[in-house]
């Protein structure tokens, strides 16, 4: 469990008064033979899911976890489409552009005639 007032410290390492109180509550719950799941549920109900060192991947947390993966996927799609577009453009430019073919033919014939 994470200290709600400290930055990233677990309650076992924090000297904050709230962390000390949370440790007492956890200790009391363990003495009362509560399960780990029940203890976590009680602490989340009192202090919110931000107290968990590994918050559940739901709601806003899900967006935080999914955004880098979506950005990576979007970048890969963009790269692939750009590469394919340039390759298709090169192929189309050499095969179907009559003006380009005529220019290449004329410049080729001049070069061979000049030599």
User: What is the tens place of the pLDDT at every residue in 73-107?
Assistant: 999 999 988 888 777 666 665 556 677 778 878 88
Q: 10 Å Cβ neighbour count for 22?
A: 22
Give yes or no for a contact between 17 and 6, defined as CB atoms under 8 angstroms apart: no
Q: 10 Å Cβ neighbour count for 1?
A: 19
Q: What is the pTM of this model?
A: 0.47
- The answer to whether residue 47 scores a pLDDT higher than 70 is yes
Closest CA to 3 of 39, 47, 67: 47
């Amino acid at each position: 469990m994470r200290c709600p007032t400290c930055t990233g410290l677990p309650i076992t390492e924090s000297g904050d008064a709230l962390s000390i109180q949370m440790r007492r509550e956890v200790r009391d719950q363990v003495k009362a033979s509560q399960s780990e799941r029940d203890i976590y549920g009680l602490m989340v109900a009192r202090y919110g899911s931000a107290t968990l060192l590994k918050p559940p991947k739901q709601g806003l947390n899900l967006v935080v976890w999914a955004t880098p993966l979506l950005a990576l996927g979007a970048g890969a799609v963009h790269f692939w489409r750009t590469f394919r577009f340039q390759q298709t453009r090169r192929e189309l430019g050499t095969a179907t552009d009559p003006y380009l073919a005529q220019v290449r033919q004329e410049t080729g014939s001049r070069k061979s005639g000049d030599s």
